[in-house]
Amino acid sequence: MLALFDSPDTFLVRYHRHHTGITSWALSRGRARGDLSSYDLLAELVPSQTPHKVVDLGCGDGYLIERLLARGVPTERIVGIDISPDELMLARKRSGLDYVAMLCERADRTTLPNDSTGYVLSHMSFMVLSKIEDVVAEIARILIPGGVFSVVVPSEAEPDGAAAAFFELFNEIYHSQATRAPVLGDPRTWTEAGLRGLLRYESQFDGLEFTHIDLCLDGTVTEVWNSLSARYEAYVILPQHRAQLRDRFMERARQLARSDGTIPCTLPLCQLVCRRANAKN
């Protein structure tokens, strides 16, 4: 096996330079409980007109920030943090985000003051962050006592419909080639047990709650392909292999087509909500 880059962070920055805005483009159309997007499940945790700072960790192109503003969270309360200058540049182009603070910083060492933040939210980025224990310590440092930390990450549950077919085909083709993406993040962020270990009370968090999310990505074959193929490992798949993957997926997916031309696709995600303990150990 040959990793494409030595540094996972270098890989992420390069990936988002060439695929700016891809995460919200792929997932924002998905719907979870109450017809909400997975972004809205995070945004609804924050009361409108909150007096506290709200940090979007790994904010990407600012889609979650846009949802926060739609809820009435004041612009001056929001901070977006990302290591990709290209994603932050795109975020600043969103309507209403001109005056939102955008910091091009690492999640494990931000410039935010101690006990300065009421909410730290993260949508589909926590699982790829480097030095995850340092990231957890940093989140605890900037949160006020009782402050909320919530993430949406992939679930360990099995995908369904076209998603199951896609991942079967993807893994077969991806593991057949020598070049691989570097290992991103920490495997503990992919399981409830792992997350509980990272956020144990000794690391200043309590009240952990986990909610399974069935993200409905039903749509046309092309729409579903676009959503599922927007993954980091796909960046290193050779062009001929990607074409093969697409053709094989299209063939399998069409067998699932309904009378209206859409195909079923469920992506399992998980939302964690917890709070910084009132007293630091």
The enclosing domain of 114 has a CATH number of 3.40.50.150
Question: How far apart are alpha carbons 249 and 242 in whole angstroms?
Answer: 10
Is 169 inside any structural domain?
yes
Q: Is residue 218 part of a domain?
A: yes
CA–CA distance from 281 to each of 36, 58, 103, 225, 276 (Å)? 37, 27, 29, 47, 11
Cβ atoms of 198 and 136 within 8 Å: the answer is: yes
Q: What is the largest CA-CA distance in the chain?
A: 59
More confident of the two residues 34 and 54? 54
Q: Which domain holds residue 70?
A: 2-276
User: From CA 22, how far away is CA 15, in angstroms rounded?
Assistant: 10
pLDDT tens digits, 235-258: 889 889 999 999 999 999 999 999
Residue 281, domain member (yes or no): no
Residue 179, token pair as written in the block: 């070049």
Q: How many domains does the chain have?
A: 1
SS3 178: coil
**Is 140 a domain residue?**
yes
Percent of the chain with pLDDT over 90: 86
Q: What is the pTM of this model?
A: 0.94
Tens digits of residue pLDDT in 85-114: 999 999 999 988 989 999 999 999 999 999
